[in-house]
Amino acid sequence: MKHGYDGRIYPVTRSAAEVEGLRAWPSVADLPEVPDLALIITPAATVPDILEDCGRKGIETAVVFSAGFEETEAGRGHARRLAEVAARHGIAVLGPNGQGLWSVGAKSFFSFSAAAMALDGIRHAPIALVSQSGALAGAIGGSLHRNGMGCSYMVSVGNETCLDALDVLEWIIEQEDVRVAALYLEGIDRGARLQRIGARARSRGVQIVALKAGRSAFGQEATASHTGKMASAHEIYRDTLAQAGIIMVESLGEALAAIEVFSFMPGPRVSGDPLGGISVMSSSGGAAALLADHSAEHGVPMAVFSPGPAARLEARLPEFARKANPVDLTGQIRAEPDLFRNTLEIICDDPRTEAVVVQFASSGLRDLVENGSDFKAAVRRTGLPLVVTTAQEQVDVATRAEFRDAGILISDDPFNTMRALSWLYDRRGFAAIRPGPAVPAATLPAPQGWDGTVAFLSGCGLDPAPWRLLHPGDDPAEACAGLAWPLVVKVLPDAADHKTELGLVKLRVQTPEEVAFHADAFRRSLGRPDLPVLVQEMVTDGVEVVLACLRDSDFGPVLSIGSGGIAVELYRDVAYLALPATHAQVEASLRKLKLWTLLQGFRGAPEADVAALVDAVVRFGERMAQTPSLREAEINPVMVRPKGKGLAAVDFIGIAAD
C-alpha cells in the first residue's frame, strides 16, 4: 500500500474485523473472489491446512513467510505436508521462511521486509535479484534504490520447499524488464539446469551474476545450518558457472558493482584487430600506470594506437605528454580547456579503440562537471563503453545517476575500472559459448575387473600403457615377453588406494627377477597370496594429467581435469566442467591452467598431443554420463605423449554408486 499497489487486498483473520483500514475476512472460503496470490503469515503447523483452503478456493500462487520448516527437526513434517498440498492442488509456492518478492513495475511489494518499508521512493530498472537469504535480498534491494539504480524484481526463495532459486531464475530471464539477474546462492539442487538457463539468458541479452557463499569449511557449515543443504566445492561452482556464461563475484560490493555495469553498459566494440583494446587518457601519469597494471591483472587488452590517430596525438599533445596508450595529458589540462575533448575525439575515432577510460586525479569532480557534456556526446556519437575514473574521490548519487543515464560509468579506483571492463569482455566472450549436444540416453554397466577397465578406457581413447597380469606361479620372463623395459610393477586399481604411499608401486624395474620380487612383496603386504599383479611398460615421454568425474550432488556429473600424478594434491591445478562438455569448452578450461604451459612444450620439451587429450576428455565425459552406476572415476595420471603419439592411461579408480 505504501508504494502505490492498486490491486484488491483481503486480510484473512478471525481476530479482527479490520486490518490497516481494510475489511478482514474470517476464512479463505469466505472471500468474495479468487485472489491471484495468497500471503501466508501464520505458525508453521497451521500452514499446510491454510494452503489446503487456498487450493480449494482455486488460488494458484502462494508465498509462505513463516519459519519453522526444514530448518528445524520438528518442522520437516510440516514441510512435507506443505509440498504434498501444493502438488495436489497445483499451487506454486514461494518459501517458506523467506521474505517474499518485489515487482517494482507493478508497485507490488509482497514482503514483510523492513527494507521495502524503508524506501522513500521506488525506481523501476532492468535489474532482478534472486536470493537464498531473505535478509540479504532486502539489503541489496534497498541498496540498489539508495544508490539511484533501483530494480525490477526481488525474490527471496526461503527454504525452496516447492520453487527453488533456479525455478525463479528461469522465469526472471524471460521478463522484458530484466537486463541483469543477480543470484545469492548458498547451495543448489539439480544444478545442471544452469547450463540451459545460461544459454537462454544469453539469447535474450540477460547477464546473470552470482555471489556464492560457503567458500570456507566454516562457511559451508553456516550455509548448511541456514538452508538445510551442504554446498559443493567452491571451485566447482566457479568453473561450472563460467561454463554457463555466469559472472561469479566474491563480495556484496562486487555484486553491486557488477549489477551496475551490466544494467546499462554496452559491450566493447569489436575491432577485429589483434592490437585493439582499451584506450586510456589520464591527467595523472601515476594513475595511468595503475590502469595499465590492472588491465594486465584482469586480462583486459590495451590498444596500440593506429598510425593515423597516433600521428594526430603527436601533433596535438604537448611535447612533454605521453602520447602512447595510456595517454598522460599532464597538468596542461588546466591551461588548455579543450585538451580532454580533443584527445577523446582522436582516440574514439581510432578503429582499434574498443572502450575508453578517462582517468582523473586530484580534481576529479571538477573535471567531470566541466567536461561532462563532451563525454556524453562521445558516447552518443560512438556507442563505446566509457568509464570515468577518480582517485578515490566519491561522486554523489545524483551525479552518478546522471552519467549512468547517459551511458557512462563512474568508478572511484583504477582497479575497479579494469574489473568492470573485464566483466564486459567476459560477457562478450560468453556469447561464443555453445552448449554440448545431449548425450544419448543409453545406460552402460560399470566396468568390472581389469578387463572391463581396459575396455572402458579404450572406449574413451585412453588405452592403458602396454600391460600384462602376473598371477602367482607365472614365469615373469614369459609373462613380460614383448614388453619394453624398464617396467612398472603395481597392484591393480581395485586392490588399494594411494598405492604410491603404501609402497605398492615400483618404477624402473629392470629384470624379470625384480618383477617377481616386488610381486611377492605386494602379496605379503596385503595378505593376499593369490593377488594378480599388474606389470606395464613405463611411459616416460609424456605430461602427467589427472582426469576424473564425480556425480556431484549439486550439478550432476562434473568433469575435473588438471596437473596429474602427485601434483594434483599439491598444486590443485584443476578445472571443472559440467556435462555435457564440448571440445571447445575442454580446451578453454585447459588454457586456464598452469598445465597448459607444459602441454605446449616447456623448457625444450616437445609439444604434447593436446588434440588427442581434448577428444579423450569429451569421450570420457560422454561415457560417464551414460554410466550412472559409476559414481566416481579417476584416471591419474593420463600420460599425454608428444603430438601425434596419443595418450596412455596409467592408473584408474572407479567407485560404484551406492
Domain boundaries, the chain: 1-97, 98-263, 265-430, 466-537, 543-656
Span 98-263 CATH architecture? 3-Layer(aba) Sandwich (3.40)
Cα gap 518→271, rounded to integer Å: 63
Task: Kindly report which listed range (354-358, 408-412, 554-558, 569-573) carries the lowest average pLDDT score.
Answer: 569-573
Residues sharing a CB contact under 8 Å with residue 203, sequence separation 6 or more, in sequence order: none
Residues sharing a CB contact under 8 Å with residue 597, sequence separation 6 or more, in sequence order: none
Per residue in 53-92, pLDDT (tens digit) is 999 999 999 999 999 999 888 899 999 999 999 999 999 9
Structure confidence at residue 114 as a pLDDT band (50, 70, 90): confident
Q: Name the average pLDDT for the chain.
A: 90
Residue 515 φ/ψ region, left for φ over 0, alpha for ψ in the -120 to 50 degree band, beta for the rest: alpha
| Residue range 605-631: mean pLDDT, rounded | 91
Task: Kindly report which listed range (158-162, 380-384, 424-428, 439-443) carries the lowest average pLDDT score.
Answer: 439-443
Query: 541 or 227: whose pLDDT is higher?
Result: 541
Query: Mean pLDDT highest for which of 114-118, 127-131, 441-445?
Result: 127-131
CB atoms within 10 A of CB 184: 22
Selected from 3.40.50.261, 1.10.150.20, 3.40.50.300, 3.30.70.260, the CATH number assigned to the domain covering 265-430 reads 3.40.50.261
Residues sharing a CB contact under 8 Å with residue 58, sequence separation 6 or more, in sequence order: 34
Selected from 3.40.1160.10, 3.40.50.300, 3.40.50.720, 3.40.640.10, the CATH number assigned to the domain covering 1-97 reads 3.40.50.720
The confidence score (pLDDT) of residue 516 equals 93
Fold exhibited by the domain 466-537: Dna Ligase; domain 1 (3.30.1490)
What stretch of H or E contains 248? strand 247-249
Q: What is the CA radius of gyration of the chain?
A: 31
Residues sharing a CB contact under 8 Å with residue 39, sequence separation 6 or more, in sequence order: 62, 63, 65, 100, 110
Cα gap 255→248, rounded to integer Å: 9
| Residue range 372-396: mean pLDDT, rounded | 92
Fold exhibited by the domain 543-656: D-amino Acid Aminotransferase; Chain A, domain 1 (3.30.470)
The confidence score (pLDDT) of residue 317 equals 84
The confidence score (pLDDT) of residue 245 equals 95
Helix (H, G, I), strand (E, B) or coil at 174: coil
Structure confidence at residue 335 as a pLDDT band (50, 70, 90): low
Structure confidence at residue 328 as a pLDDT band (50, 70, 90): confident
Structure confidence at residue 227 as a pLDDT band (50, 70, 90): very low
Query: 298 or 339: whose pLDDT is higher?
Result: 298
**pTM of the complete model:** 0.89
Domains 1-97 and 543-656 share a fold: no
Cα gap 389→27, rounded to integer Å: 58
- Cβ(136)–Cβ(227) below 8 Å: no
Q: Say yes or no to pLDDT of 223 above 60.
A: no
Structure confidence at residue 554 as a pLDDT band (50, 70, 90): confident
| Residue range 309-326: mean pLDDT, rounded | 88
Residues sharing a CB contact under 8 Å with residue 334, sequence separation 6 or more, in sequence order: none
Q: Say yes or no to pLDDT of 153 above 80.
A: yes
Per residue in 449-495, pLDDT (tens digit) is 888 888 888 988 898 888 899 999 999 999 899 999 999 998 887 77
